């Protein structure tokens, strides 16, 4: 496993804790956490193909639309809730942030940084950005709520979430300085 | 994909143990007719039990004779290289107690009176069925089933198994089921029952002696049932307003294709199905209520279970819609049970659980392999 985002997220997770992964795709992160940290938990996913893949990955996967909220889970049911590369595709971002606060103690969020310099450069050239993290055309992208790292800080402040730790990656390499400019993905550990 | 299990035959399990029923009555002994497909491994760890739904039986797959018109009722799911792969698993089908295909039922002889049970045959519940099934499974030397795969009423039996015998099953596949019936579900069942009960040929359940059967009532009951198993969209797609002879007849003969279809299904059913069985099956459905003995809290029901769950629902199923499956999922989640939930896009209504679709079948196949 050489995905630095998985490794970092795993560092933030307590062994044997309960984890919820929202928009878990094929369940690869959950599977990794199960083997590294003996976590128990569930993934939520909407696409049928991913349900099949999740089953093959031996993770618990619930087919549900995140936009409908997390009412199947009681308050503070999980130790950690993860929203990995999904925030930008949500319609109602504030609602899911509130729901995450409700169901878990710790929150981990990652998203493609719209402020990454290559994105800025493409805008300067008069085009919507496309990259390996944002591969779609503007007219068919599921990523409808793109934000920069600074924008995300503002939202965290509004939602009274404290940033405990963060990691920025570009092409799976960690970025230490000028991260809102040089990081293509940001991963944040938040607490209430 | 996959092949047929081929020619199969049924066996009889005779149980001499007394079975105390939920209704308070007892059966001093009983028979269950069953079929098996595939081979039980040496450790007896590859057995899958498939309980049947309302009008099903023990004949799940294959044919009795080469020239049989129809295969078993879930032949698309069970067989070599099929989702429930008989090359890997030992699959068991049982006709429920009270069923009319060879298990002890209202048309059997009451050993005490030496007469046909008829109307005096007790009303059985899902819990009773499960208790009787457990005895058969034990008789095969199986301590723990690898899985129970049940659709509709079969899903209810699967859930009951995991609650009543938590150590006796590893995986539950609960498909197109519900934790209990709604008022609307019960209402449909009651109309079906009234059709039978009010048929002059029913003789209060003792029609066997009269050498007749309440075919009219059974026909209507089945026609009603069929309407609820399909969705509005699928019925429209299949039949629409198509006419049998292309014109309006201005009489009460069958005019539309949907009428012809329902009447055909009704006739077929009335020929083969026993009215006392149908009445009792619908009652078992009505009385099924997981919460009843758990202070009406579904989450309490699953507190002691050990099985893993795959819950499947179908988008257009309005008899047991996805919202009911989600209630089951929620209750399992409350107890930290390993559960996967798939809500499958299908336009064929409740019947979708019996039909072949790639994603549905792959989901079942993958879950059994995982």
Chain A residues with CB inside 8 Å of B360's CB?
none
| Distance from C-alpha of B158 to C-alpha of B173, rounded to nearest angstrom | 7
Average pLDDT rounded to a whole number, residues B74-87:
98
Residue at A10 is within a domain: yes
For residue B1, what pLDDT band results from cuts at 50, 70 and 90?
low
Quick one: pLDDT at residue B121?
A: 97
CB-neighbour burial class of residue B242 (10 A; exposed 0-12, middle 13-18, buried 19+): exposed
**What's the pLDDT tens digit per position in B229-285?**
999 999 999 999 999 999 999 999 999 999 999 999 999 999 999 999 999 999 999
pLDDT surpassing 60 at residue B103: yes
Residue at A15 is within a domain: yes
Domain definitions of chain B by residue range: 11-180+290-369, 185-283
CB contact under 8 A, A55 and B326: no
Average pLDDT rounded to a whole number, residues B29-39:
98
Cα B71 → chain centroid: 16
Quick one: pLDDT at residue B199?
A: 98
| Distance from C-alpha of B230 to C-alpha of B218, rounded to nearest angstrom | 19
Rounded to a whole number of angstroms, the distance from the CA of A12 to the nearest CA of chain B is 22
Q: Can you say whether the dihedral through the CA atoms of A58, A59, A62, A65 is positive or negative?
A: negative
Please state which of the four CATH numbers 1.10.150.120, 1.10.1740.110, 3.40.50.800, 3.40.50.410 is assigned to the domain occupying B185-283.
1.10.1740.110
DSSP conformation class of A15: T
Average pLDDT rounded to a whole number, residues B322-334:
96
List the domain range (segments joined by +) for residue A43: 4-113+145-191
**pLDDT > 90 in chain B, percent:** 98
CB contact under 8 A, A52 and B359: yes
CB contact under 8 A, B336 and A55: no
Average pLDDT rounded to a whole number, residues B54-68:
96
* pTM, to two decimals: 0.96
Residue at A19 is within a domain: yes
Top residue of A55, A70, A76, A79 to mutate, by most chain B CBs within 10 Å, is A55
Work out the mean pLDDT of chain B and round it to a whole number. 96
**What's the pLDDT tens digit per position in B150-171?**
999 999 999 999 999 999 999 9
Average pLDDT rounded to a whole number, residues A182-189:
96
Chain B residues with CB inside 8 Å of A54's CB?
340
CB contact under 8 A, A42 and B334: no
Class of B11-180+290-369 per CATH? alpha beta
Average pLDDT rounded to a whole number, residues B19-44:
97
Rounded to a whole number of angstroms, the distance from the CA of A68 to the nearest CA of chain B is 13
Quick one: pLDDT at residue B296?
A: 79
> Which residues, in sequence order, are CB contacts of B187 under 8 Å at separation 6+?
none
Which of B71, B152, B231, B325 is the catalytic position?
Answer: B152
Quick one: pLDDT at residue B312?
A: 98
To the query of whether residue B317 is one of the catalytic residues in this protein, the response is yes
Which among A49, A60, A63 is the nearest to B338, CB-wise? A60
Quick one: pLDDT at residue B78?
A: 98
Chain A residues with CB inside 8 Å of B363's CB?
51-52, 55
Residue at A132 is within a domain: no
Which among A18, A51, A56 is the nearest to B342, CB-wise? A51
The residue written with tokens 């049998």 in the block is: B244
Average pLDDT rounded to a whole number, residues B350-366:
97
| Distance from C-alpha of B104 to C-alpha of B93, rounded to nearest angstrom | 15
Quick one: pLDDT at residue A154?
A: 97
Residue at A74 is within a domain: yes
For residue A132, what pLDDT band results from cuts at 50, 70 and 90?
confident
Quick one: pLDDT at residue B25?
A: 97
Whether B11-180+290-369 and B185-283 share one fold: the answer is no
| Distance from C-alpha of A108 to C-alpha of A11, rounded to nearest angstrom | 12
CB-based contact, A54 to chain B, within 8 Å: yes
Quote ipTM for the complex: 0.93
**What's the pLDDT tens digit per position in A27-51?**
999 999 999 999 999 999 999 999 9
CB contact under 8 A, A52 and B330: no
Residue at A128 is within a domain: no
Chain A residues with CB inside 8 Å of B172's CB?
none
| Distance from C-alpha of B57 to C-alpha of B273, rounded to nearest angstrom | 11
CATH number of the structural domain spanning residue A77: 3.40.50.150
Tokens representing B200?
């002059």
Rounded to a whole number of angstroms, the distance from the CA of B342 to the nearest CA of chain A is 5
Quick one: pLDDT at residue A1?
A: 57
For chain A, what is the domain count? Answer: 1
Which of B226, B317, B325, B361 is the catalytic position?
Answer: B317
pLDDT surpassing 70 at residue B326: yes
Q: Is residue A179 within 8 Å of A186, Cβ to Cβ?
A: yes
């Amino acid at each position: 496993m050489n995905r630095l985002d998985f490794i970092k997220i795993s560092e933030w997770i307590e062994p044997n804790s309960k984890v919820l992964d929202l928009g878990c795709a094929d369940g690869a992160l959950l599977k990794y956490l199960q083997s590294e940290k003996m976590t128990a938990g569930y993934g939520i996913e909407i696409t049928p193909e991913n349900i099949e893949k999740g089953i093959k990955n031996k993770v618990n996967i619930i087919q549900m639309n995140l936009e409908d909220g997390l009412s199947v889970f009681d308050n503070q049911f999980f130790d950690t809730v993860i929203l990995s590369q999904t925030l930008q595709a949500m319609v109602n971002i504030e609602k899911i942030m509130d729901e995450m606060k409700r169901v878990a103690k710790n929150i981990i969020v990652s998203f493609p940084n719209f402020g990454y310099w290559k994105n800025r450069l493409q805008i300067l050239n008069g085009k919507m950005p496309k990259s390996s993290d944002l591969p779609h055309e503007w007219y068919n992208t599921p990523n409808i709520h793109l934000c920069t790292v600074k924008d995300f800080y503002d939202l965290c402040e509004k939602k009274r979430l404290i940033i405990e730790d963060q990691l920025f990656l570009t092409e799976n390499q960690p970025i230490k300085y000028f991260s809102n400019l040089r990081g293509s993905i940001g991963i944040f550990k938040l607490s209430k | 994909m996959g092949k047929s299990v081929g020619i199969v035959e049924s066996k009889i399990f005779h149980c001499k143990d007394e079975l105390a029923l939920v209704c308070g009555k007892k059966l001093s002994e009983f028979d269950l007719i069953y079929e098996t497909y595939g081979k039980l491994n040496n450790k007896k760890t590859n057995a899958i039990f498939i309980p049947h739904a309302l009008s099903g039986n023990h004949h799940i797959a294959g044919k009795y004779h080469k020239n049989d018109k129809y295969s078993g009722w879930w032949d698309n799911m069970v067989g070599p290289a099929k989702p429930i792969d008989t090359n890997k698993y030992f699959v068991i089908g049982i006709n429920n107690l009270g069923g009319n295909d060879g298990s002890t039922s209202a048309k059997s002889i009451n050993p005490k009176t030496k007469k046909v049970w008829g109307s005096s045959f007790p009303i059985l519940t899902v819990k009773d069925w499960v208790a009787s099934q457990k005895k058969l499974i034990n008789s095969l030397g199986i301590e723990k089933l690898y899985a129970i795969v049940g659709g509709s009423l079969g899903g209810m039996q699967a859930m009951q198994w995991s609650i009543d015998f938590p150590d006796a099953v590893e995986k539950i596949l609960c498909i197109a089921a519900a934790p209990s019936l709604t008022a609307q579900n019960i209402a449909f069942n009651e109309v079906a029952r009234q059709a039978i009960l009010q048929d002059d040929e029913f003789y209060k359940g003792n029609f066997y002696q009269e050498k007749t059967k309440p075919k009219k009532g059974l026909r209507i009951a089945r026609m009603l049932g069929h309407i609820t198993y399909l969705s509005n969209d699928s019925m429209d797609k299949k039949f629409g307003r198509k006419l049998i002879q292309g014109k309006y007849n201005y009489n009460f003969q069958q005019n539309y294709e949907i009428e012809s279809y329902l009447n055909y299904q009704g006739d077929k059913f009335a020929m083969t199905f026993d009215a006392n069985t149908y009445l009792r099956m619908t009652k078992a459905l009505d009385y099924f209520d997981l919460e009843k003995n758990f202070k009406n809290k579904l989450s309490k029901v699953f507190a002691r279970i050990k099985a893993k769950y795959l819950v499947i629902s179908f988008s257009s199923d309005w008899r047991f819609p996805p919202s009911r499956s989600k209630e089951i999922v929620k209750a399992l989640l409350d107890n930290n049970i390993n559960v996967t939930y798939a809500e499958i896009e299908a336009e064929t209504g409740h019947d979708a659980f019996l039909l072949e679709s790639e994603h549905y079948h792959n989901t079942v196949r993958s879950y059994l392999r995982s």
